[in-house]
Amino acid sequence: MYSKEDLSNFLYFDIETVPLTEDFYSLPIRLQEAWLQKYEQIKKYNSQDSEIETSVEENYFNNCSFFSEYSRVLCISCGILKWDNGTTVPTANIKTFIDEDERAVLSGFKTSLEKFLGSSPGKRFLCGHNIREFDVPFVARRLVINQILPLPPGLDLNGKKTLGSSSC
């Protein structure tokens, strides 16, 4: 069981992604060509589960938001829990970074993340649903694509081992 102090050391977060373009044909040619290769992989993988085949355009629309090369971060919401003296119920401090300009969203989140993790290095952690498999790598890639560097410590997983099956 986590203590109040433990729970206060987690930054809970989630991201929402949207396609880079309105439709497949609005992508730059080199990304269209790359998506066609990915489309073939997706078709091959899904052929075992379903006999329904979608067009390239429909497949792009349905799947591109899972891939950082073809989509962008629309918003990031994050929060921390705080207990006032003697209370048993925490207060949630929540902040949402949302903007049509992805760089503004990423820069704001990066600044908050650095402030949160930097105040107690090694004692503060990120927490969220499937963040190790999706949110953290996605945000890290989009930071690199947007040349917002260096990566903050919580997102720079280069050379790091996974924590195994435990997760908050």
**DSSP character at residue 74:** E
Structure tokens at 4: 């109040």
Question: Cα(50)–Cα(127) distance, rounded to whole angstroms?
Answer: 34
pLDDT reported for residue 165: 41
pLDDT reported for residue 160: 62
Contact 24, 70 (CB under 8 A): no
Contact 60, 23 (CB under 8 A): yes
Q: Angle CA(94)–CA(136)–CA(5) in degrees, nearest 5?
A: 50
Q: What is the pLDDT along the chain (168 residues), one digit of tens a residue?
A: 888 888 999 999 999 999 999 999 999 999 999 999 999 887 887 766 555 578 899 989 988 999 999 999 999 999 999 988 878 899 999 999 999 999 999 999 999 999 999 877 778 999 999 999 999 999 999 999 999 999 998 888 776 665 544 445
pLDDT reported for residue 161: 61
Amino acid at 129: H
Ordered domains of the chain (ranges, CATH) = 4-20+70-145 (3.30.420.10), 24-66 (no CATH)
